Amino acid sequence: MSKKRIIVVGNGMVGHNFIDTLANAECASQFDIITFAEEARLAYDRVQLSKYFSGASAEDLALTTEADYQKQGIIYTLNEKVVAIDSHAKTVTTASGRVEGYDKLVLATGSFPFVPPIPGKDQDHCLVYRTIEDLEAISASAAVSKTGVVVGGGLLGLEAANALKQAGLETHVVEFAPRLMAVQLDEGGGKLLRRKIEELGVSVHTEKATTEIVAGEECRYRMNFADGSFLETDMILFSAGIRPQDELARQFGLDVGERGGIVINDYCQTSEADIYAIGECALWDNKIYGLVAPGYQMAKVAIEHIVSSLLTHEEPAASFQGADMSTKLKLLGVDVASIGDAHGHTAGSQSYVFNDDVEQVYKRLIVSADGKKLVGAVLVGDVEAYGTLLQLKLNDMDIPGNPANLILPVSDGSEPVGLGVSALPETAQICSCYDVSKGDIANAVQGGCCSMGDIKDATKASTGCGGCAALVKQVMDAELTALGVEVNNNLCEHFAFTRAELADIVRVKGYTTFSELLENHGSGHGCEICKPTIGSILASFNNEYVLKDELISLQDTNDIFLGNMQKDGTYSIVPRIAGGEITPEKLIVLGEVAKEYDLYTKITGGQRIDLFGAQLHQLPDIWKKLVDAGFETGHAYGKSLRTVKSCVGSTWCRYGVLDSVSMAIALENRYKGLRAPHKIKFAVSGCTRECAEAQGKDIGVIATENGWNLYVCGNGGMRPRHADLFATDLDDETLVKYIDRVLMFYVRTADRLQRTSVWMENLEGGLDYLKDVVINDKLGICDELEAGMTKVVDTYQCEWKTTIETPEKLKRFSHYINATDEDNNLLYVRERGQRRPATEQERIELVNLETAAD
Partner 1 sequence: MTTWISVCNLSDIDPDTGVCALLNGEQVALFRWGNSDTVYAINNFDPFGKANVLSRGLIGSVGERPVVASPLYKQHFDLSTGECLEDTEKSIKVYPVRVEAGVVALGAA
CB 716, CB 604: distance < 8 Å: no
Which of 182, 565, 758, 793 touches partner 1 (CB under 8 A)? 565
When asked if residue 252 is in the footprint of partner 1 (CB under 8 A), the reply is: no
Q: What angle do CA 332, 333, 339 make, to 5 degrees?
A: 90
Size of the site for partner 1 (CB under 8 A): 32
Q: Name the one range near partner 1 by CB under 8 A: 66-74, 83-91, 560-568, 653-661.
A: 560-568
Which of 319, 402, 422, 557 touches partner 1 (CB under 8 A)? 557
Which of 136, 493, 729, 777 touches partner 1 (CB under 8 A)? 493
Return the SS3 of 2.
Answer: coil
When asked if residue 527 is in the footprint of partner 1 (CB under 8 A), the reply is: yes
**Taking the complex as a whole, how short is the minimal distance between the CB of residue 821 and partner 1, in angstroms?**
6
297 to each of 63, 140, 310, 340, how far by Cα in Å? 18, 37, 20, 18
Which of 96, 251, 553, 651 touches partner 1 (CB under 8 A)? 553
When asked if residue 194 is in the footprint of partner 1 (CB under 8 A), the reply is: no
When asked if residue 222 is in the footprint of partner 1 (CB under 8 A), the reply is: no
The mark string for 798-827 relative to partner 1 (x by CB under 8 A, - otherwise) is: -------------xx--xxxxx-x-x-x--
Subset of residues 692 to 711 that bind partner 1, contact rule: CB under 8 A = none
Helix (H) or strand (E) holding 735: helix 732-749
Which of 88, 525, 654, 832 touches partner 1 (CB under 8 A)? 525
When asked if residue 832 is in the footprint of partner 1 (CB under 8 A), the reply is: no
The mark string for 567-596 relative to partner 1 (x by CB under 8 A, - otherwise) is: xxx---------------------------
What is the Cα–Cα distance from 432 to 17, expressed in whole angstroms? 14
What is the Cα–Cα distance from 409 to 264, expressed in whole angstroms? 44
CB 596, CB 588: distance < 8 Å: no
Q: Name the one range near partner 1 by CB under 8 A: 431-439, 554-562, 629-637, 778-786.
A: 554-562
When asked if residue 80 is in the footprint of partner 1 (CB under 8 A), the reply is: no
DSSP-assigned states of every residue in 151-199 = E--SHHHHHHHHHHHHTT-EEEEE-SSSSTTTTT--HHHHHHHHHHHHH
The strand pairing partners of 378, in sequence order, are: 338, 364
Which is nearer to partner 1, 617 or 689 (by Cβ)? 617
Which is nearer to partner 1, 554 or 665 (by Cβ)? 554
When asked if residue 845 is in the footprint of partner 1 (CB under 8 A), the reply is: no
Which is nearer to partner 1, 473 or 835 (by Cβ)? 835
**Taking the complex as a whole, how short is the minimal distance between the CB of residue 851 and partner 1, in angstroms?**
16
**Taking the complex as a whole, how short is the minimal distance between the CB of residue 125 and partner 1, in angstroms?**
57
Burial of 117: CB neighbours in 10 Å, binned 0-12, 13-18, 19+: exposed
When asked if residue 531 is in the footprint of partner 1 (CB under 8 A), the reply is: yes
Which is nearer to partner 1, 655 or 816 (by Cβ)? 816
The number of residues making up the chain comes to 854
When asked if residue 839 is in the footprint of partner 1 (CB under 8 A), the reply is: no
Which is nearer to partner 1, 122 or 840 (by Cβ)? 840
Which of 23, 552, 781, 846 touches partner 1 (CB under 8 A)? 552
Number of helices and strands in the chain (H, E): 25, 38
What is the Cα–Cα distance from 278 to 8, expressed in whole angstroms? 10
Amino acid at site 323: A
What is the Cα–Cα distance from 182 to 190, expressed in whole angstroms? 7
**Taking the complex as a whole, how short is the minimal distance between the CB of residue 438 and partner 1, in angstroms?**
39
Burial of 423: CB neighbours in 10 Å, binned 0-12, 13-18, 19+: middle
**Taking the complex as a whole, how short is the minimal distance between the CB of residue 489 and partner 1, in angstroms?**
20
**Taking the complex as a whole, how short is the minimal distance between the CB of residue 531 and partner 1, in angstroms?**
6
Which of 198, 227, 528, 768 touches partner 1 (CB under 8 A)? 528
- List the one residue out of 383, 389, 278 whose CA is nearest residue 323: 278
Amino acid at site 223: M
Backbone phi, psi, residue 142, to 5°: -60, -35
When asked if residue 520 is in the footprint of partner 1 (CB under 8 A), the reply is: no
Pairing of strands 699-704, 282-284: unpaired
**Taking the complex as a whole, how short is the minimal distance between the CB of residue 641 and partner 1, in angstroms?**
23
What is the Cα–Cα distance from 721 to 201, expressed in whole angstroms? 27
Helix runs in 401-524, H state only: 438-446, 452-459, 469-482, 499-509, 514-521
What is the Cα–Cα distance from 174 to 206, expressed in whole angstroms? 6
The mark string for 458-477 relative to partner 1 (x by CB under 8 A, - otherwise) is: --------------------
19 to each of 107, 289, 293, how far by Cα in Å? 12, 20, 15
Which of 199, 207, 426, 549 touches partner 1 (CB under 8 A)? 549
What is the Cα–Cα distance from 268 to 474, expressed in whole angstroms? 34
The contact set with partner 1 (CB under 8 A) reads 493-494, 524-528, 530-532, 549, 552-553, 556-557, 560-561, 565, 567-569, 811-812, 815-819, 821, 823, 825, 840
